[in-house]
Structure 1
Amino acid sequence: MAPYESFYGRACRTSLCWNEVGERQLTGPEIVDLTVEKVKVIRERLKTAQGRQKNYADKRRKDLEFQQGDRVFLKVSSWKGIMRFGKKGKLSPRYIGPYEILERIGKVAYWLALPPELSRIHNMFHVSMFRKYIPDPSHVLSYQPASVCTYVYICIYFAL
């Protein structure tokens, strides 16, 4: 007798035997056939569920492609305690840039022309890290590093 059966007083329903308690016991090739049928049903139901989830995901997916010379914003990944792009905290911008695409590598990777302040970062990125920059003549781009602002603030503080 199995430990489960001795403890609970009834047979354990495992993946090999889905019989209800009290039904006749299957032996030999009958249990193999029953198990194969149940596995087929499980696979069909999993395939149906996967297809449904793929349909949901595909509706929200958009294929992005950029050409050499296009300008894109770069997503700033804000990990706790890590400052990769010189930006940190909740109120920091989610995208920085725009930066020019130098070259396309494969289907989803691109080389970017990064400024010298970001020279410690590798300049090849996946397309999911980009947001398209739509040029606007009234849009004035100014990049001011945070270290300059901090330095000016400290100098004013000590001067007083």
Structure 2
Amino acid sequence: MAQDRQKNYADNRRKDLQFEVGDWVFLKLSPWKGVVRFGRRGKLSPRYIGPYEIVERVGPVAYRLALPSDLSRLHDVFHVSMLRKYISDPSHVLEEQPIELQEDLTYVEQPVQILDWMMQVLRSREIPLVKVLWRSHNVEEATWEPEDQMREQYPYLFE
């Protein structure tokens, strides 16, 4: 009786997933404690990676994925339970920002302008902060920096 009840619970939540060749899917990561999986670790590591294209249907519940070269050590056939459908959304596409690289493949962050001022109040002192917009970054990525350091390094911003 208990097995029937548990099977009923499981069947109510089960979704029969099927994908077509050419569909894009996310691949589920197996969280093993202390093991670095796919170059990511830690508490905020993603649950899914991808998207990857389905190349072939191997069996009734198995699919072959087109994996990139950095995942070439993995077997490329996965069970349907390890896959989630990727629904494309134009808002997910990020515009690439042009960055001027130096010969040693580094670049220097340059502030463009100061957007806002704020006074950080601590117990015994106050710290003046400025919100700085950096070159090759959006307004949402502006950072709060100490005003005295910014005046020292970039005095032209305060003229």
**TM-score interval (norm. to shorter):** 0.5 to 0.7
What is the rounded CA distance, in whole Å, between the counterparts of 2:65 and 2:58 in structure 1?
11
Q: Letter of the aligned partner of 2:64 in structure 1?
A: W
Aligned position for 1:57 = 10
Aligned position for 2:148 = none
* Residue deviations 1:62-105 (CA, integer Å, cap 9, x gap): 11110000000111112022223111111111111000000011
Report which of the two structures shows the higher radius of gyration computed on alpha carbons.
1
Aligned position for 2:68 = 115
Alignment coverage as a number of residue pairs: 99
Cα 1:89–1:109 change in 2 (3 A) is: same
* Residue deviations 1:39-84 (CA, integer Å, cap 9, x gap): xxxxxxxxx2222211111011111110000000111112022223
Percent identical residues: 71
Q: Letter of the aligned partner of 1:51 in structure 2?
A: D
Cα 1:141–1:118 change in 2 (3 A) is: farther
Gapped runs of 5+ residues in structure 2? Answer: 96-104, 109-159
Q: TM-score, normalised by structure 1?
A: 0.56
Gapped runs of 5+ residues in structure 1? Answer: 1-47, 143-151
* C-alpha contact (below 8 Å) 1:78/1:88 kept by paired residues: no
Structure having the larger proportion of residues in strand: 2
* Secondary structure of residue in 2 paired with 1:138: helix
Aligned position for 1:135 = 88
* Secondary structure of residue in 1 paired with 2:65: strand
Q: TM-score, normalised by structure 2?
A: 0.56
* Residue deviations 1:116-154 (CA, integer Å, cap 9, x gap): 111111111111111110011222179xxxxxxxxx89x
Moved over 3 A (4+): none
Q: CA RMSD in A?
A: 2.3
Aligned position for 2:114 = none
Structure having the larger proportion of residues in helix: 1
Q: Letter of the aligned partner of 2:25 in structure 1?
A: V
* C-alpha contact (below 8 Å) 1:84/1:121 kept by paired residues: no
What is the rounded CA distance, in whole Å, between the counterparts of 1:141 and 1:98 in structure 2?
15
